[in-house]
Amino acid sequence: MRVLELVGEFDLSGVTSFEQELARDPSMDENTLVLDLRGLTFIDSSGLRAVVMADHQARAEGKRCLLVRGSRRISRVFDLTGVGERLELVDDLPDAAPRLAH
């Protein structure tokens, strides 16, 4: 399991580093990607798109992508856009997994 902890604002300025982190050293035995949204204070459409694309890529590779729900503000963005209905959202990290901060 690979866990990426997203913190602060996730907008266009953070998308490139997020995508680079996803592409960096992917382990062949990691079959689950977890994006921890609890540290986010803001997400815009470019950040939302990056999350959707990460989910899409994981599924294309036969992997699972989980999103740990963020604050009410962040969750509202997922709800209002309908994106939350297409992603696998969970309330907490599955097991105690190491985190890679973004």
Does the pLDDT of residue 50 top 60, yes or no?
yes
Tell me how long the chain is. 102
Q: Residue 77, Cα to own-chain centre: how many angstroms?
A: 14
End-to-end Cα separation, the chain, in angstroms: 16
pLDDT category of residue 94 using cuts at 50, 70 and 90: confident
Please indicate whether residue 28 or residue 71 has the higher confidence score (pLDDT). 71
Q: Is the pLDDT of residue 19 over 90?
A: yes
Instruction: Indicate whether 30 pLDDT > 90.
Output: no
Beta strand spans in 1-94 (E): 2-10, 32-43, 64-68, 88-90
Local confidence band at 26 (pLDDT 50, 70, 90 cut-offs): low
Is residue 8 pLDDT above 70, yes or no? yes
pTM: 0.87
Q: What domains appear along the chain, each with residue ranges and CATH number?
A: 2-101 (3.30.750.24)
